[in-house]
Amino acid sequence: MFNRNSIIILAVAVAAGLGLVAGNQLFNRPAGEHAGNISSITWYNSPRELPDFNLAQSDGTRLIPGELRGHWTLVFLGFTSCPDVCPTTLLELAAAQQQWRTLPDSTRPRLLLVSVDPQRDTPARLGEYAHAFHPDTLAATGELPALEKFATSLGMVFARAEGENFANNPDDYSVDHSASLAVLDPQGRLAGLIRPPFNASAIAADLTELTRKTAP
């Protein structure tokens, strides 16, 4: 049985899908000189500036807009108790990270995991989880209002889905969340997205080409 939150998530996803169809002139077009032979990314017609955000990173520093500049960045929403989608995605992306590891650290693409389960995921716990897949993965979380604002700015959604025993066990819940990857350009703008299923080799090749094109 679907619970209320799951139904809401599905409704939002359907509405978002309809919005993309209706707004086709704004989405799914090449992003100028970045288009090239890129195969894994669905581009926005124009990169979108993100509103201010301030999240807690696993290393104790704050994640603010300036931290996401200078690199192509993939952003994934998830949480450490995620049973399948999150570990599968992070494992696939770790393979991509290994393939672009030879790029200079100053411009190397980055993967950012943002936990949408701040009740259970402290920054430290989240960092341990993310680094178990790949040591270069950035990890951040924050209070729910800040996370909701950040997710919305990326065109993503999430909501807690309570289990049957939630009334007696506050930990009996999961979190429904968008499964796509947001693609941020070196200016920290939302440039496009990558939809599942993910292909590590294609993602690695695309991010490597983009990095070489935009490197100073």
The amino acid sitting at 56 is: A
The answer to whether 131 is a known ligand-binding residue is no
Rg of the Cα atoms in the chain = 17
The answer to whether 177 is a known ligand-binding residue is yes
The answer to whether 86 is a known ligand-binding residue is yes
- The residues that bridge with 153 in the sheet, in sequence order, are none
Element (H, E) at 194: strand 190-194
- Binding site feature residues for Cu cation: 82, 86, 177
- Binding site feature residues: 82, 86, 177
